[in-house]
Structure 1
């Protein structure tokens, strides 16, 4: 377990926990905001949810003192541990964008869909536990979760998934990006695409980037992975995601075989990042299938 303080753009009271998603360091982040009303943003897959409790203890936040659990969306790499964490933190409510709430109350469908999408990487997940409906606070675009000396302003960001929202904290001038700003690979320049099936929509993703750019945050808190100064990363991601879709479409036109397209990109992926080779190739397969699904729907 590695817990680090986030200081990007002068951020305060914010900590990033590396939950080693898919067995890879520096890929899956859970954030703890040590506010007057303490909050956890995202939860990981549930496999290592005890690490969140250990991190809270390290910050002298008792389980019963946690007040807010805020998954950015209900994909299980971000929300799989919500039910476990809610059980362990009896006074915390779960704040989630309204269209995702049903999947936390009854996670059967999202669990089945996740197993289909991630394939053999399901070994890194725990079957999600349901959240009592009376502990869920449904959020809408424009809402604010009041944390006392901090806040989470809610902005719907459906390009990656229809149930995704990003949270902007005015006190820190930072935004929890979920998957709306791509993937930040530590110690590597730039950002990478994230385009899983079935929810990926290119035009929606570009609109989300424009929305984030309008917020003009000083810091981006990536779900994958870590805090960063914003600099030109949003404009870069708009280019990255458009070019990624163009590459997949061109390769589909060349090969005329979707599985061959998927394997082509999996074999091309670089494996010298902090991620494991299994994870890097699995990520590329998933993202390629997401683009192919998008192209089918577009046509």
Structure 2
């Protein structure tokens, strides 16, 4: 699948996904498009990949959008939301109640993102603030009614406290956001995602259990693409998280310097599946982000 390509989600009705080319990297960022009684997208990309998303909507013949459903407000998921609401005046945004204020006034969100992603900010666009009356706050168990289907929000705060996964029970789909890691289809594996500043290991593992309890048939990964649900793979992701955090903890104990720990793991990024698939630049950026997130988690645990 190449950047800009649109494909149907196998086993579903009127659900597609587009490779947005996030970070100029194929098979890293996907947005889901629901062409039902009420049209919707799940997540919205960085804003820097907005043309790929609107191109997909055009390709599917969708000229009116009803709902922009955001798994969380990190700007690789919510960066395009305000742009969509400008271009589709009938659309309403839906987001976790804890993240809503950051979409109404994104100044702090932008500053935090720039600090977290560093040079990768070049692939983003400045977010457009969302008017409060066009934003619906969701709590755990709230549902988004799309007419012929319902997406129910479930708390998944391990990656970020403003994250939900969305369950379409009738279709058997869970839109995972980042709650079940990063799926790399080329090697059929799930990699960790542990960004600063609010990653929580124990809660992230519970989030994977939350998804298992929903008994889905399809996991719709934001990174990247849909996959048939596999309980063993999701259990493996929980082990991956533990092993990754332990690796950073051990290296931190050995080096006693957080910057040295980060540079150690960045130097070994080319040994990971991410480097093989995404290329050196993105793999190193991913490793830097994930290491910083675990270090922040370890400091918080100590405090």
Give TM-score scaled by structure 2 length: 0.95
The answer for the alignment partner of 1:291 in structure 2 is: 294
Q: Distance in 2 between matches of 1:277 and 1:21?
A: 15
How far did residue 11 of structure 1 move? 2.1
Greater mean alpha carbon deviation, residues 289-298 or residues 167-176: 167-176
Q: Aligned residue pairs: how many?
A: 295
Q: Distance in 1 between matches of 2:276 and 2:101?
A: 36
Judge conservation of contact 1:220–1:228 (CA < 8 Å) in 2. yes
Other structure's SS at 1:273 match: helix
Q: Which runs of 5+ in 2 are unaligned?
A: none
> Could you give the per-residue CA deviations for residues 51-95 of structure 1, whole angstroms, max 9, x where no partner exists?
222211211111xx2100011100000000101011001000001
3-state DSSP class of the match of 1:99?
coil
CA distance in 2, matches of 1:113, 1:6: 33
Unaligned 5+ runs, structure 1: none
State the shift of 1:249 in Å.
Answer: 0.3
Does residue 277 (structure 1) correspond to residue 276 (structure 2)? The answer is: no
Larger RCO (CA under 8 A, 6+ residues apart): 1
Contact 1:23 1:276 in 2 (8 A): no
Which position in structure 2 is the counterpart of 1:60? 61
CA-to-partner distance for each residue in 1:155-191, whole Å, 9 max, x for gaps?
0110000100010111210100000000001211321
Superposition misfits of 4+ residues, deviation over 2 angstroms = 270-274
1:207 is displaced (CA, Å) by: 1.1
What is the match of residue 34 of structure 1?
Answer: 35
Does residue 1:247 correspond to 2:250, yes or no? no
Q: TM-score scaled to structure 1, two decimals?
A: 0.96
Name 2:99's counterpart in structure 1: 100
Which moves more between the two structures, 50-59 or 103-112? Answer: 50-59
- Secondary structure in structure 2 of the residue aligned to 1:224: coil
Other-structure match for 1:13: 14
For 2:275 and 2:181, the matched residues in 1 are separated by 19
Shift of 1:201: 0.3
Is residue 183–residue 225 contact of structure 1 (8 Å, CA) maintained in 2? Answer: yes
How big is the alpha-carbon RMSD for the aligned residues of Structure 1 and Structure 2? Answer: 1.0
**What do the CA deviations read for 1:224-269 (whole angstroms, capped 9, x no partner)?**
0000011122111111111110111011111111111111111112
- Which string of whole-angstrom CA distances, capped at 9 and with x for unpartnered residues, describes residues 194-248 of structure 1? 0000010001101111111111111100010000011122111111111110111
In the other structure, the counterpart of 1:129 is 128
Structure 2 residue matching 1:175: 3-state secondary structure: strand
Q: What is residue 210 of structure 1 aligned with on the other side?
A: 209
CA contact (8 A) 1:16 1:30 kept: yes
Q: Which residue of 2 aligns with 1:161?
A: 160
Maintained 8 Å contact 2:275/2:283: no
In 2, Cα distance between the equivalents of 1:11 and 1:263? 43
